[in-house]
Amino acid sequence: MITVAAAFVGTVAFALLFGVPRRFYPGCGFIGAAGWLLYLLLEGAGLSAAEATFFAALAVALLSRFAAVWQKCPATVFLIAGIFPLVPGAGIYWTSYYLVTGALADARATGFSAVKTAVAIVLGIILVFELPGKVFHPKIRQV
Amino acid sequence: MSADRETEREQQVLEIAMEAGHILLENGAEISRVEETMERITRHFGVDSGSFFVLSNGIFTTGGSVSGRFARVEHIPVHGAQMDRVVAVNQLSRETEEGRLTLEEVAERLEAIRRSPGKRGSMQVLASAVGSAAFCVLFGGSPWDAAAAFIAGFVLYLYVLKLSAPHLSKLVGSMGGGALVSLVCLLLRAAGIGQDLSHMIIGSIIPLVPGVAFVNGIRDIADGDYISGAVRMLDAMLVFFGVAIGVGAVLTLGQRLGGGVWL
């Protein structure tokens, strides 16, 4: 649970780093924490890291689009910060660590898994942005 | 005379659209948003001769009628993304479409957005430090590891703001960043702050992750803007690899100097 709070704080910190306006901080933090929580739950339920990342990325992108309509601003604002907890930062580290220590098989496995995670994020985002705007904004017909 | 006026106004509208596009692209908006905003502004002010071609680092605009042609190419190198400017221009284009603003007002507002101060450097450094510590905890680090990541994230962003961003290329800058973070973490652990090197380093390299380029690259590719999307993804990948190389280099050095004990 403490890592979910860490996800909230970390996401807000990166929102600040990217110059997101202050009024969007709570939204960014919430979306980042929700994505990480879902990831933890799914991974705990036995899904692989890439699968869990895919569904979490899907959730983050969906929430970002809803928040964008609600707050009348680009979805990117929420997406960029919210996706951060899912980015395979650990993958980068372990890959170079194993490469350096000469454990090539481990390096290949972690590197491959980092790439799979990145692809999962890509797929999750692409699928959500494929949905027409109407889904998120039923009142105004999109031109 | 009136034809001249017409032409002059047309040029003015196109210039303003260009300015709006410039601010958007420079601060990390997707290609489709840039094109759409430019089109909306020109259409609202009754100019439909404009056509725009936007790439990840440049905008090409032509327009105008027989009496006066407008053609411009602007090269727009990406520097640090400022999301608040994207939000502000987006809001401006919304209000323009609702018909609440005159051409002059739009020009003034754009100028104000361009001049608006970015986040202060000290805030960014602090955000990087807090973010590093938070992500260290996220990946399972102890409080002491997080304290070390806090310091490493702090030092890292001083380096990014003072040295890497203004003077170094992306690739070299991120290699240096990865190396610096690892070095700081190694030294901190030697000084007794933090136990688990991996958590410390993983937390503090996160501020280097090219989030804007990565996410925008994905969205551009999803929109079918393959050239810009591919360029942005390549940009993100290079930074990822740069960081990995930087970390790896310092770890190797640490291993050579201190034997297995360091790792």
Segment B190-208, tens digit of pLDDT: 888 888 888 899 999 999 9
Q: Is B243 on the interface with A (CB under 8 A)?
A: yes
Of B66 and B52, more confident: B52
What pLDDT, in 10s, does the model give residues B2-33? 677 778 888 888 999 999 999 999 888 899 99
Nearest residue in chain B measured CA to CA from A74: B87
* Burial per residue of B26-62, b for 16 or more beta-carbon CB atoms within 10 angstroms, e otherwise: bbbbbbbbbbbbbbbbbebbebeebebebbbeebebe
Q: Is B219 on the interface with A (CB under 8 A)?
A: yes
Q: How far is A104 from chain B (nearest CA, A)?
A: 13
Above pLDDT 70, what percent of chain B? 95
Q: Are residues B178 and B229 in the same domain?
A: yes
Which residue carries 């590891």 as its tokens?
Answer: B145
Amino acid B257: pLDDT? 79
Q: Is A87 on the interface with B (CB under 8 A)?
A: yes
Residue ranges with strand state E in chain B? 51-55, 58-65, 68-75
* Contact criterion met (CB below 8 Å) for B79 and B26: yes
User: Of B115, B137, B155, which marks where a domain is finished?
Assistant: B115
Which residue carries 């703001």 as its tokens?
Answer: B161
Q: What is the pLDDT confidence band of residue B255, given thresholds at 50, 70 and 90? A: confident
Phi/psi at B54 (nearest 5 deg)? -115, 130
What pLDDT, in 10s, does the model give residues B108-147? 999 999 888 877 888 899 999 999 999 999 988 888 999 9
Q: Is B169 on the interface with A (CB under 8 A)?
A: no
CA torsion angle for B27, B167, B146, B188 (degrees, to 10)?
Answer: 180
Q: Are residues B130 and B152 in the same domain?
A: yes
d(CA B177, CA B155): 10
Q: How far is A74 from chain B (nearest CA, A)?
A: 7
Amino acid A137: pLDDT? 67
Whether A76 sits inside 8 A of B215 (CB atoms) is: yes
- The distance from CA A109 to its chain's CA centroid, rounded to whole angstroms, is 22
Please list every residue in chain A whose beta carbon sits closer than 8 Å to the beta carbon of residue B123. Answer: 16
Q: Are residues B129 and B244 in the same domain?
A: yes
CA atoms within 13 A on the CB side of B251: 22
pTM of the entire structure? 0.86
Q: Which residue, B110, B73, B78, B104, is CA-closest to B91?
A: B110
Q: Are residues B251 and B132 in the same domain?
A: yes
What letter represents residue A21's amino acid?
P
Q: With a cut of 50, list the residues of chain A below it in pLDDT.
A: 141-143
A7: its two tokens: 């996800």
Mean residue pLDDT of chain B comes to 87
What pLDDT, in 10s, does the model give residues B73-118? 988 887 677 888 999 999 999 899 888 888 888 999 999 998 888 7
Phi/psi at B113 (nearest 5 deg)? -65, -45
Q: Are residues B31 and B109 in the same domain?
A: yes
User: Of B115, B140, B170, which marks where a domain is finished?
Assistant: B115
What letter represents residue B183's amino acid?
L
B104: its two tokens: 């002059």
Q: Is B83 on the interface with A (CB under 8 A)?
A: yes
- Does residue B184 register a pLDDT over 90? yes
Amino acid A30: pLDDT? 94
Number of domains in chain B: 2
Q: What is the pLDDT confidence band of residue B66, given thresholds at 50, 70 and 90? A: low
Domain coordinates in residue numbering, chain A = 2-135
Above pLDDT 90, what percent of chain B? 43
Whether B244 sits inside 8 A of A20 (CB atoms) is: no
Whether B123 sits inside 8 A of A16 (CB atoms) is: yes
* Burial per residue of A115-126, b for 16 or more beta-carbon CB atoms within 10 angstroms, e otherwise: ebbbebbbbbbb
Q: Is A85 on the interface with B (CB under 8 A)?
A: yes
Q: Are residues B181 and B219 in the same domain?
A: yes
Whether B209 sits inside 8 A of A72 (CB atoms) is: no
Domain of B99 in residue numbering reads as 2-115
- Residues comprising chain B, all counted: 263
Phi/psi at B102 (nearest 5 deg)? -85, 170
Q: Is A6 on the interface with B (CB under 8 A)?
A: yes
Q: Are residues B147 and B173 in the same domain?
A: yes
State the distance between the two ends of chain A, measured CA to CA, in whole angstroms: 43
- Does residue B153 register a pLDDT over 80? yes
Amino acid A139: pLDDT? 58
Q: Are residues B157 and B47 in the same domain?
A: no
Q: Are residues B181 and B78 in the same domain?
A: no
Q: How far is B248 from chain A (nearest CA, A)?
A: 5
Is the CA virtual torsion A113, A114, A116, A120 positive or negative?
Answer: positive
B183: its two tokens: 């070095």
Amino acid A143: pLDDT? 36
B237: its two tokens: 């990948």
d(CA A83, CA A72): 20
Q: Are residues B46 and B140 in the same domain?
A: no
